[in-house]
């Protein structure tokens, strides 16, 4: 009986293994349950945890009345095949925007989870017989259907190992960065625009120096450790560390790792308000960067941001202010936006002469990012001509107000992590473009108690900039729809879909000869409304 039982569970094991991959995907997007984010996601998405739960009870009912062993094995395998086929089908039609990354941690987690999945099969094989076979199958069914909770056992088992791995890489990174005495370290944080600011600064500084930015959105302790240990070398003059945070103390932890002497805060807003609890907590956390600088350090702050201007800094380091609307140490005036890019004059405090700068980038947000980079570049001894050359060569950052051509459509790709300030600026960019304007958006997330109101305001703003709007996710976009309707936006111009893959076929039907499409935000898979 043991041999027959093990053979009969092969298809079952393939099914639960693939199902575990999906659970691990969600676990990874929820930062491996840091601060119980995965459990909170499960609580909000109970239907994902109990998917096909009704089928399980049907199986339970049928199994109890089956006395024929061969028939029982055949039915069990038939059900497993159906579930496996359904899982494969769901994967093929899924709209995963951020696939599971098979990092070293995921590989370790997969190994542990595989052992855990095999464990009940091996244990049951020792005592399975004709009388209890049905109950063994029922227990295996329970393990399969509670897979999204089951994965947490593997996570718990691996916790000590992950702690030791993290400690090793942390000590290695600290030792390496301390050994590079002449290295200049810049920290960049803010609620929005960190990655754009980092890439702009890197492009400008590379005119004169060999600078190294953290790749992509490597803005966590592990991201910084990986960058330092794998990419930093003796030829690097400047290390630019993007610093992300979702709770108090996160920025301080990163500063204790890399010890920046220079800092830029981009913009303080309501991103991650749900985990911070209040905007004051966000403000305090972002200023952990400035307050970690040494006394001879330099911080670049935005004078047009009330949350920066009104903060009482607990540090005597030097502060350089940038601005557009307010007088500052480095200020932009005469800003001109066009489909080809942006031009503006920069004034430096104590110098009445305007300096003309041009960039391929779009939007006021990028002007602020350029001002911060220019302010820091000047502190590093770069000439005006070098700064101009750097600004002119800055490349658009992928998915951040990136203008590109897709067939006969002009796409303004602002799909990365939308926020109220950035979304408004993106609409302003769309508005100035010639032709028909279409907005595609699932709305904004992680805004805490302000999320509904901010999305409603976003809907009102869309009504002034778009000729057609495509809302992705009927439930999530209800506040946007409300904002549009309150402004009297024509209902026939509002299109609601639950699958972003349906957006472009729809655009092809409603486009004009010259059409600009704004893609505003692209929610992670954990926010998908469709199954």
**Per residue in 361-383, pLDDT tens?**
988 889 999 999 999 999 999 99
Taking 80 as the threshold, does the pLDDT of residue 343 lie above it?
Answer: yes
Gyration radius of the chain's alpha carbons: 27
Under 8 Å between Cβ of 417 and 446: no
Under 8 Å between Cβ of 432 and 337: yes
CA distance 314 to 199: 29
User: What pLDDT score does 100 carry?
Assistant: 86
The string of pLDDT tens digits covering residues 382-435 is 999 999 999 999 988 777 788 888 888 999 988 876 788 888 888 988 988 889
Q: What stretch(es) of the chain map to CATH 3.90.190.20?
A: 402-527
Residues 6+ apart with CB under 8 A from 465: 427, 428, 430, 431, 437, 439
Under 8 Å between Cβ of 379 and 298: yes
SS3 297: coil
Query: Does 498 or 44 have the greater pLDDT score?
Result: 498
Query: Does 64 or 51 have the greater pLDDT score?
Result: 64
Range 180-393 has CATH code 3.40.1190.10 = yes
What's the whole-model pTM score?
A: 0.77
Q: What stretch(es) of the chain map to CATH 3.40.1190.10?
A: 180-393
Taking 70 as the threshold, does the pLDDT of residue 525 lie above it?
Answer: no
Taking 90 as the threshold, does the pLDDT of residue 345 lie above it?
Answer: yes
Query: Does 34 or 330 have the greater pLDDT score?
Result: 330
The string of pLDDT tens digits covering residues 473-493 is 888 899 999 999 999 999 999
Q: Give the domain 402-527 fold.
A: 3.90.190
Q: Where are the beta strands (DSSP E) in 277-350?
A: 298-302, 318-323, 330-338, 341-348
User: What pLDDT score does 524 carry?
Assistant: 46
Beta-bridge mates of residue 409: 406
């Amino acid at each position: 009986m043991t041999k027959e039982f093990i053979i009969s569970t092969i298809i079952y094991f393939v099914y639960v293994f693939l199902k575990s991959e999906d659970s691990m995907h969600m676990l990874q997007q929820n930062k491996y349950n840091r601060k119980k984010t995965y459990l909170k996601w499960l609580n909000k998405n109970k239907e994902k945890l109990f998917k096909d739960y009704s089928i399980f009870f049907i199986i339970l009912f049928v199994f109890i009345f089956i006395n024929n062993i061969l028939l029982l094995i055949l039915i069990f395998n038939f059900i497993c095949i159906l579930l496996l086929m359904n899982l494969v089908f769901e994967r093929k039609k899924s709209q995963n925007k951020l696939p599971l990354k098979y990092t070293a941690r995921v590989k370790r987690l997969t190994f542990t989870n595989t052992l855990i999945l095999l464990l009940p099969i091996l244990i049951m094989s020792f005592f399975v017989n004709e009388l209890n076979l049905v109950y063994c199958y029922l227990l295996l069914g329970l393990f399969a259907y509670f897979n999204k909770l089951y994965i947490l056992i593997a996570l718990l088992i691996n916790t000590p190992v992950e702690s030791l791995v993290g400690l090793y890489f942390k000590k290695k990174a600290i030792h390496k960065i301390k050994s590079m005495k002449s290295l200049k370290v810049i920290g960049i944080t803010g609620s929005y625009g960190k990655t754009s600011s980092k890439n702009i600064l890197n492009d400008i500084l590379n005119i004169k120096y060999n600078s190294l930015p953290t790749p992509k959105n490597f803005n966590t302790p592990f991201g910084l450790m990986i960058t330092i240990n794998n990419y930093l070398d003796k030829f690097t003059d400047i290390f630019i560390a993007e610093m992300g945070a979702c709770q108090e103390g996160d920025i301080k932890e990163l500063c204790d790792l890399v010890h920046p002497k220079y800092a830029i805060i981009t913009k303080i807003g309501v991103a991650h308000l749900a985990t911070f609890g209040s905007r004051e907590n966000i403000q305090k956390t972002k200023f952990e960067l400035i307050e970690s600088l040494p006394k001879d350090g330099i911080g670049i702050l935005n004078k047009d941001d009330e949350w920066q201007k009104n903060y009482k800094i607990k540090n005597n380091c030097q502060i350089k202010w940038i601005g557009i609307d307010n007088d500052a140490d480095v200020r932009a005036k005469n800003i001109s936006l066009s489909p080809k890019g942006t031009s503006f004059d920069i004034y430096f405090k104590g110098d009445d002469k305007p300096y003309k700068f041009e960039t391929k980038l779009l939007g006021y947000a990028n002007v602020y990012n350029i001002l911060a980079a220019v302010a820091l570049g000047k502190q590093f001894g770069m000439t005006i001509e070098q700064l101009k050359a750097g600004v002119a060569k800055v490349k658009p950052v992928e998915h951040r107000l990136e203008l590109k051509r897709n067939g006969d459509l002009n796409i303004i790709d602002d799909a990365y992590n939308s926020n109220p300030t950035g979304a408004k600026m993106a609409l302003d960019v769309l508005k100035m473009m010639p032709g028909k304007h279409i907005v595609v958006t699932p709305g904004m997330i992680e805004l805490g108690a302000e999320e509904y109101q901010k999305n409603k305001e976003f809907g009102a703003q869309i009504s002034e900039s778009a000729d057609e709007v495509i809302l992705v996710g009927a439930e999530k976009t209800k506040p946007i729809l409300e904002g549009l309707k309150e402004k009297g936006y024509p209902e026939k111009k509002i299109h609601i879909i639950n699958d972003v893959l349906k957006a472009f076929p729809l655009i092809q039907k409603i486009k004009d000869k010259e059409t600009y499409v704004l893609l505003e935000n692209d929610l992670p898979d954990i926010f998908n409304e469709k199954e």
